[in-house]
Structure 1
Amino acid sequence: MLVSAISGLVVLARTLLRLAGREDSGSTAAVLDRVETKFNVSAANLRKAWRLKRGEIRVTGAEMDMLYQGVLEEFQRLVQVVDALPA
């Protein structure tokens, strides 16, 4: 489930940059870097989940639980960023 959801979370990150008037193109890593910088949030777990989806890394069951929790926390932080954007 996490691996299939990560693409949508990257779309959210790109959209946040667009709404903030920032560059939203480029690699996923570059987009996540810009989100971290612009909104002062961590995207380390999103980045790790993206690498997992691409087959660049493997994680064990316990690591997957921690990664899932980390992605959820980062997603919740991005939702807070959306809520704080001016209307």
Structure 2
Amino acid sequence: MATMNISLPDPMKAWVEEQAKSGRYANTSDVVRDLIRREQIKADKIANMQRLIDEGRASGISDRTPRQIFEDVKAEFERRKGAA
């Protein structure tokens, strides 16, 4: 594992140390790793949502009514539920 030195303002340093002392983490490095891991997951989710939005926008405007779309989604849900 690589080592990295970071500088934090005193209030942030105190917060990280308190998190480590709480017993939830073994040490301050675990706190920082967890924060980074959570940010990576969040960034991946945002990127996936953006990809889905881009795909939706690129697909154009549907000529189906909202009711037809709802019925199609409902049928797909029921199909998947029955397959599980």
- Normalising by structure 1, what TM-score? 0.32
- Normalising by structure 2, what TM-score? 0.33
Point out which structure has higher relative CO (alpha carbons under 8 A, 6+ apart).
1
Which structure would you say has the larger Rg? 2
